[in-house]
Every structure is written in C-alpha cells, then in structure tokens.
Amino acid sequence: NSEIITSSELKSEFSHHDPAVARINNGSFGSCPASIIAAQRRHQLLFLRQPDYFVTYTLKPSILQSRRIIQALINSGDVDEISIVDNATTAAAIVLQQTAWRFFANDFHPGDAVVLLHYAYGAVKKSVEAYISRAGGHILEVHLPFPLKSNSEIISEFRKALQLGKSTGRRIRLAVIDHITSMPSVVIPVKELVTICRDEGVDRVFIDGAHAIGNVEIDVKDIGADFYTSNLYKWFFCPPSAAFLHCNTSDKLQDLHHPVVSHEYGNGLAMESSWIGTRDYSAQLVLPDVMNFVSRFQGGIEGIMQRNHGNVVEMANMLAEAWGTELGAPPEMCSSMAMVGLPARLRVESNSDALNLRKHLREGFDIEVKIYYRAPVEGEVDPVITGYVRISHQVYNVAGDYYRLRDAVKQLIGEGFECSL
C-alpha cells in the first residue's frame, strides 16, 4: 500500500505546469503527473534500446495488462471487449465506419437514421457527417434546453426525437449519446436513454464517454450500451493519447475494424488496435503506474472523483454568487466540470465573442478556461445570460485559481468591458 500523497509531493507531480497560469480547463486535454511521464519515458527507452525485442515480447503483454485494468475499472465481463485506441474520436470512427459499411452493403437503407445530441462533440458530429451522410444515412439531432433543471428535460427531448424519426418512417440504426457533454457540460442520464433506445427498437447504442473515466462512475454492464468509449488522458492521468473502446460481445458486433489497417487485420478489434504500425504506444502502457498514483489519494480514484465534484460545485457557487448569476445545471448534473453564467453586461453575443473573451482572459489575466455562448431563445427578455464559463477541478487545482477568474471578470465589468468592443 502506498502512503497518502503529501501536498508537497502533489505540487511536485505537477511542477511542469506553468505556475503563472490559473489552469481551470482540465476537461480539454487533461494533465499527466511527473511520475507517469517518467514511466512513459521508461517504456519509450525500452523500445528504442531494442525495438525488435520490445515489439516481439513486451508490447502485446503490456497492452493486455492495461486492457485488464480497464476491464476491472468499468465492470466489463470479458477482456476481449476492451480495445485501446488513441482517443474517443478514433473510437467513434470505428463504430461509424461499421455503420457506413452496413449502408453500402444494403443492410441499411437510404434515409435510415443515426440520432445524436445537438450538444455532441464537434469532432463526432463531423465524423457522423463523414461516415453516415455520405453513405446515405439521415441525421436526427436531439435539441436539449440549456440551462437545464433536471434529467427529465433530457429524457423527454430524447423521446420526442426518436418518435419524430419513427413518425417519418425512418429506422434508427444507431444512437450516439454523450455520457458527459463537452459544451455546455452536463452529465447525461445514459442508462435511462439506453433503456428508451431498447424500447423504441434502436439497433445499436454508442456512448461517447470522452470525459467519463476518472470523472464519474462507469459500469458498462449496468449502462447496457453496445459500445462505450472514454479517454484515459482527460481525467485518468494518462499521457495523450490513450482511450478505450468497449464493445459488447455479440455476433452482430463482430465486424468492427480499426480504420488503420495493419498486420493484425481480421484478428479482432482488440488485436487490430494493439498494432497499427510502428508508432509510440507508451501512453497505453502506463495504466499500472496510474493505478499506483491514484492509490496514493484517500479513497483512490473514487475519492478523487468525489472531491473534484465537491470542489467544482463549491467554486461554481462562489462564482455565481460573486457575479450575480447561476449555474447552468444543478450540482447533481455536474461532474468535475460545471457551467457558470457570466454577467450579462459582458455581452457575449456570438461564438466569436466567446472565443475572444477566452483569449482575453488567457492573454490579459493568465487564466485558461472555456467560454460557451448560448443563443437566446424566443421570448427571452434582456438582460439574459448568454455567456457561461466551463470550469474544471482536478487534484492540482487550488481555490486561488477560481478567485483569479472571479476577480478578472469583476475587473472587466468595472472597466465597462463589452465583448463587442
């Protein structure tokens, strides 16, 4: 058993961070501790020292060990259900490529649909366009309100979208559902939506849990989707790039292939993914070291998740109170990320305003945080909150990071700053 990590050791693990920056955007790229970077370097040097030996004897057993760790973390029934890939975008390509092939083979018919959330990640939306639209499939988007008050709003909009698809005679072949949406960030009731999909005759369900592992509990048996992916580098301390794709074992899911075809083609997705040509696989091999790292925190990864959630909610409430605004979703719908309304006086009135404000906070105040623009809906009266910050909390964050953001926004208001200026 490792000893509990001290505050000075924790500081040292993240000493490579720029000390001048309030880094409250862990959600985008995650962060890798120094001890894991060192472990990754050992794997890289082992490969460079004797590449033939490493590839022949070390690589596959090491990847298998990582797959076993993931299997236990997400309660999968079989290690063969776990493939390690670069990131959730690669996992989406694997699932969508298979769906596109079904269109080309005439198993699916032109106009059959794929349903996804309007808040789906931009890269996944592009992937759906590239694979499904080009194959003749129809895309159904579920429009969700924001701010959100409860899960029932999500469930009712999702039902409506499926019924609309059915009422136009479309067969829904695949549902793509985020576990935690990126922007705006909300935890989605995935288990309930999977049940609705089963009841409504949706062929397959793919959960995009890009932000999930290390952030919320994942139990793939309980969720019951056909496919589940999550990035290991966002909230689980791995270096980029490593992610997993879980595929429920069944006959209809056998024809899954990695988009990069190499020597393992035809030996099952897990084997295909374990060798896609000569490249750096070290990010996929550090899982044993990550497990050792998280074991040094009270309560392990579960303890980390609980504290991150509690801290982000506390800081989000502090910001909302200081700015006279509100959270974008109730605390139980927040993960280790939360949406906080910005004062209407900043006049965030477009996506480019959001980007410019983010740039201004980065360059003028050394604050790294994501900004979301929410278009006003019909009937809303001024002034209405159209700008939100998405704050993250990870183990390296301190309260001062969020106070700096609070004070920067107050300063901008005091100076009469408006995004349009």
- Are residue 225 and residue 312 in the same domain, yes or no? no
Number of helices (H) and strands (E) in the chain: give both, helices first. Answer: 15, 12
What pLDDT does residue 268 have?
Answer: 93
Rounded-to-integer distance, Cα 326 and Cα 80, Å: 45
Q: Tell me whether residue 142 is in a domain.
A: yes
**Final residue before a domain boundary, out of 257, 290, 323:** 290
Q: Is 193 contained in some domain?
A: yes
Rg (CA), the chain: 22
In the chain, the percentage of residues whose pLDDT exceeds 90 is 94
244, 268, 290 — which closes off a domain?
A: 290
Query: Do residues 398 and 339 both lie within one domain?
Result: yes
Dig out the tokens for 156 from the structure: 């009712």
**What is the reported pLDDT for 377?**
85
Cα pseudo-dihedral 131, 120, 208, 170, rounded to 10: -60
Task: Specify whether 260 is located in the same domain as 358.
Answer: no
Q: Are 312 and 193 in contact (CB under 8 A)?
A: no
Are 160 and 303 members of one domain?
no
- Provide the residue range defining the domain that includes 386: 298-415
Residue with tokens 């965030």: 348
Residues 49-75 have a mean pLDDT of 97
Asked if 275 and 237 sit in the same domain, the reply is yes
pLDDT digits (tens, 9 = 90+) for 66-114: 999 999 999 999 999 999 999 999 999 999 999 999 999 999 999 999 9
- Which CATH number covers residue 303? 3.90.1150.10
Mean pLDDT of 120-134: 95
Strand partners, 370: 390
Arithmetic mean of pLDDT, 237-247: 97
Instruction: Give the model confidence (pLDDT) of 342-373 as tens digits.
Output: 999 999 999 999 999 999 999 999 999 999 99
Give per-residue pLDDT as tens, 273-332.
999 999 999 999 999 999 999 999 999 999 999 999 999 999 999 999 999 999 999 999
- Helices assigned H by DSSP within 109-237: 122-128, 151-167, 190-199, 220-223
**Is 197 a domain residue?**
yes
How confident is the prediction for the chain on average, in pLDDT?
95
In-domain check, residue 260: yes
* pLDDT band (50, 70, 90) for residue 251: low
Spatial separation of the C-alpha atoms in residues 169 and 182, rounded to whole Å: 31
Note whether 45 and 85 are same-domain residues. yes
The residue among 258, 290, 322 that closes a domain is: 290
Angle at 235 between CA 230 and CA 237, to 5 degrees: 110
State both tokens at 375: 């278009």
The token pair at 330 is 């109730």
pLDDT of residue 302: 98
Q: Looking at the domain assignment, is residue 79 inside a domain?
A: yes
Residue at 5 is within a domain: no
**How many domains does the chain divide into?**
2
Q: What confidence score (pLDDT) does residue 379 get? A: 81
CATH of the domain at 97: 3.40.640.10
In a domain, 50, yes or no: yes
Q: What is residue 186's DSSP assignment?
A: -
Give yes or no: residues 285 and 302 share one domain.
no
Q: How confident is the model at residue 199 (pLDDT cuts 50, 70, 90)?
A: very high
pLDDT at 1: 55
Closest Cα partner for 256 from 241, 271, 243? 271
Residues 326 and 225 in one domain: no
Reduced to 3 states (helix: H, G, I; strand: E, B; else coil), residue 187 is strand
Do 46 and 76 belong together in one domain? Answer: yes
CA distances from 199 to 81, 172, 175, 208, 291 (A): 24, 12, 13, 20, 38
Contact 128, 116 (CB under 8 A): yes
Asked whether the beta carbons of 394 and 31 are under 8 A apart, the reply is: yes
Alpha helices in 324-378 (DSSP H): 351-365
Same domain for 256 and 373, yes or no, is no
| Residue 75: φ, ψ to 5° | 60, 50
Per-residue pLDDT for 380 more than 90?
no
- Per-residue pLDDT band for 378 (boundaries 50, 70, 90) equals confident
Residue with tokens 């080009």: 134
pLDDT of residue 81: 95
398 shares its domain with 276: no
Residues 353, 164: Cα–Cα separation, whole Å? 34
Residue 250: pLDDT over 80: no
Mean pLDDT in residue range 167-183:
95
* Least-confidence region, from 191-195, 253-257, 312-316: 253-257
Q: Tell me: do 280 and 305 sit in the same domain.
A: no
CA pair distance 357, 292, nearest whole angstrom? 39
User: What's phi and psi for 81, nearest 5 deg?
Assistant: -80, -10
Start-to-end C-alpha separation, the chain: 57
